[in-house]
Amino acid sequence: MTSREVKELLSSEKGVAELYKKALPYMEKIDKFGELYTNSDILNEYELSHSMESLAGCYSFLNPIAGALEALLIENESNFHITEESKFTENLRVQDQNSAKIKARALVSDIRRFCSDFDRYCSSADKLIVVAQSRLKRLTVESSAKGVDFKGDKTQPAVIEKQEEQTASSHLDVTWDS
């Protein structure tokens, strides 16, 4: 979603409700994976890989919206600030500037909350992706240390030696000699 689309959506009748309606499935998915990670319910590499892909998709959907909301927040706050300061016809004092700044911040507080929601979900998805990557790496290292399900470089001398040992021990003589 582009910043223009977000701005048009926020200025429409449906406004924020429509924006959250579009983002809710992605937010719920991030919450679901967060709960799974918290309870350590994702144990194998396929589930971890799937969660990383899903979370990356959620992040890629929510991040442009968060960026657009942040830009809209800065734009509206600046415009409100300029409008408030222009109301002072005489010399502009520091107190007047501070008053204008506070009023501008108050007028954009809703957009600030929306921006924070989307930004926090993006941050959560990003952190969950990092957790999945580290768990996946740990699983890969553990399985390769055990010599199980090795996915690394099979041309290394140590790997070739380990494979030859496993091959030699797995070929037992099972002939029926009497």
Q: State the Cα–Cα distance between residues 41 and 177, nearest whole angstrom.
A: 51
Q: Could you state, in order of their start, the residue ranges of all structural domains in the chain? A: 3-170
- pLDDT 10s digits, 62-92: 999 999 888 888 888 888 877 777 777 677 6
Is the pTM higher than 0.75? The answer reads no
The first and second tokens of residue 27, run together, are 């937010």
Task: Name the nearest CA neighbour of 48 among 176, 116, 138, 112.
Answer: 138
Has residue 126 got a pLDDT over 90?
yes
The first and second tokens of residue 117, run together, are 């929601």
Within 8 A by CB and 6+ apart from 22, the residues are 1
The pLDDT of residue 149: 57
For every residue of 51-84, DSSP letters joined together read HHHHHHHHHHHHHHHHHHHHHHHHHHHHHHHHHH
CB–CB of 128/30 below 8 Å? yes
CB–CB of 119/38 below 8 Å? no
- pLDDT 10s digits, 160-175: 776 677 666 555 555 6
Burial status of residue 33 (CB atoms within 10 A of its CB: 0-12, 13-18, 19 or more): buried
